[in-house]
Chain A
Amino acid sequence: DAGITQSPRHKVTETGTPVTLRCHQTENHRYMYWYRQDPGHGLRLIHYSYGVKDTDKGEVSDGYSVSRSKTEDFLLTLESATSSQTSVYFCAISSRSEDYGYTFGSGTRLTVV
């Protein structure tokens, strides 16, 4: 019944290679977010989108880019992966209509070796 799915669930990649993570929603929500989770840091916002082709940076955006060509899809790209980008990545969606917080995907564990 998940209205939001992330792929892949796990990925191991080599330093210097490009990586794209995908977030897909079926809720038709306007807002989509990418967070990374690291021990001792909680979840930190990387980028977010407030509509098709409308995106903005979060607090840890360096080394990441995003794209949103359709309402349902939000892509996160690591142009040249580094070991510091080893993390768990979460996508989230929100309608912001009633500020009930976000609905999260199940996360992608990315390991850069």
Chain B
Amino acid sequence: AQTVTQSQPEMSVQEAETVTLSCTYDTSESNYYLFWYKQPPSRQMILVIRQEAYKQQNATENRFSVNFQKAAKSFSLKISDSQLGDTAMYFCAFMKPADKLIFGTGTRLQVFP
């Protein structure tokens, strides 16, 4: 069975600084997808970034980028130029093709002015 581990329950960063959230996963599959979701205080689940395992290039979305290390089964999220609106819970998630999303336990990120 696949598992997703987020070892940092809470993190904090100062506005305009860079922060990296960690995620590791366990699977015997070679083809899969990885996601980072953001959950602000509004409770809405927002897709931040998506990575396909067969693509070596790391995904980027504006200030958000990932460091995908397939051999190490690691999928960290880097947030550059942190903004107050980045304050949220962040979930890492794994999915085999056409299967169910499996989530980590989340990292609560606080951005300070």
B-contacting residues of A (Cβ < 8 Å)? 33, 35, 40-45, 48, 58, 88, 90, 92, 96, 99-102, 104, 106-107, 109
Contacts and interface: CB of A to CB of B under 8 A. Distances in A.
B91 A42 contact: yes
Contact of B43 (A48, A96, A107): A107
B25 interface: no
B91 A106 contact: no
Contact of A96 (B37, B98, B104): B98
Contacts of B42: 106
B44 interface: yes
B47 interface: yes
13 contacts: A42-B6, A42-B106, A43-B91, A43-B101, A48-B100, A92-B101, A99-B98, A101-B33, A101-B37, A101-B47, A101-B95, A106-B43, A107-B43
B43 A58 contact: no
- Interface residue tally on B, bucketed by range: 20 to 34
Interface string B26-40: 000000010101000
Contacts of B100: 33, 45, 48, 58
Contacts of A92: 45, 101
Contact of B103 (A43, A99, A106): A43
A42 B98 contact: no
